[in-house]
Amino acid sequence: MEKFLSVNDVQDLNEIVKSALSIKANPEAYGDVGKNKMLGLLFFNPSLRTRLSTQRAARHLGMDVMVMNIDKDGWKIETEDGVIMDGDKAEHLKDAAAVISQYCDIIGVRSFPNLQDKEEDYADGIMKDFVKYAHVPIVSLESATRHPLQSLADLVTIRENSDKPKKKVVLTWAPHPRALPQAVPNSFAEWMNAADDVELVITAPEGYELDPEFVGEATFTTDQDEALKDADFVYAKNWSSTTEYGKVVCKDNSWQVTEEKMALTNNGKFMHCLPIRRNVVASDGVLDSDNSLIIEEANNRTFAAAAVLKAILETE
């Protein structure tokens, strides 16, 4: 694996899931894979699970780790080519990426969208520029359009909890007071569509339909109750409007995932990437139930990241 930006960079989906589960079963067995290698983690935006789980993943492989909050600790970064840099941005991304490549064997980058200009956000400029100008593999720690480490952990969690040949997985929009990126739902849909054991249904209000590129062959409906019927897994996530890009156009609290909604499922398991607004996105009763996988899912972030790093290290 030469980079990790989406499911399209994974040669064998089943093998990378098996790798994550193998590392989880015996994390001490892989301590020499990354010996004398350096992982650099660059954060343009906040992080809890991604930051800590990726650091722990690197440690399982024997790697050293450097972490930098670009938005707080570094120079302001210019991303436009050919610009006259006479403003407040002191360093160009092409120079920063090349320099960091000399210090690190793999670079992880996290950069959110601005939710102002869809064309600009979906161009995924920062992530693509790091791939272009760095001289080492790039791992997405979440970009403007995708969150592949989260999605791999989600698939690992689903397979750990069900051996059904075909699992009905429902991605449901849920309320939130703020406008949130579309990266997690985009990525989740993309990975579930790539899995041969998943039947994906997406449900959201009008105006929140994900791009066809990510919906793929999944079923889409605005009827949440109908979507939840007989579901094996329910993945709740808010995202901002796609028709009025970056805006909150629906404030219908009936989309909250409650115990009554989960009763429509096939004793379904509840999932969310975290952090979650309790009693807004989902009720306490759902989150604290025996069928909630949110903590287990977060734990699997470590082993998903380790599987990705291992695949990259073994490619070098």
Binding residues for carbamoyl phosphate: 47-50, 75, 110, 147-150, 273-274, 301
Q: How far lies 243's CA from each of 115, 180, 181, 215, 279, in Å? A: 12, 14, 13, 15, 26
Rounded Cα gap, residues 240 and 121, in angstroms: 13
Q: How far lies 218's CA from each of 202, 225, 266, 271, 276, in Å? A: 7, 17, 19, 18, 25
Terminal-to-terminal C-alpha distance of the chain: 8
Q: Are 139 and 2 in contact (CB under 8 A)?
A: no
Known binding site for N(2)-succinyl-L-ornithine: residues? Answer: 142, 176, 237, 277
Contact residues for 85 (Cβ-Cβ < 8 A; gap 6+)? 78, 92
Chain centre distance of CA 234 = 17
The SS3 call for residue 43 is: strand
Residue closest to 39 by CA, chosen among 65, 15, 62, 61? 65
Known binding site: residues? Answer: 47-50, 75, 110, 142, 147-150, 176, 237, 273-274, 277, 301
Rounded Cα gap, residues 238 and 17, in angstroms: 26
Count of Cβ atoms closer than 10 Å to residue 64 Cβ? 15
Residue closest to 251 by CA, chosen among 280, 224, 284? 280
Residue 75 is classified by DSSP as: P
Rounded Cα gap, residues 124 and 146, in angstroms: 9
Contact residues for 266 (Cβ-Cβ < 8 A; gap 6+)? 168, 230, 231, 232
Residue 292 is classified by DSSP as: B
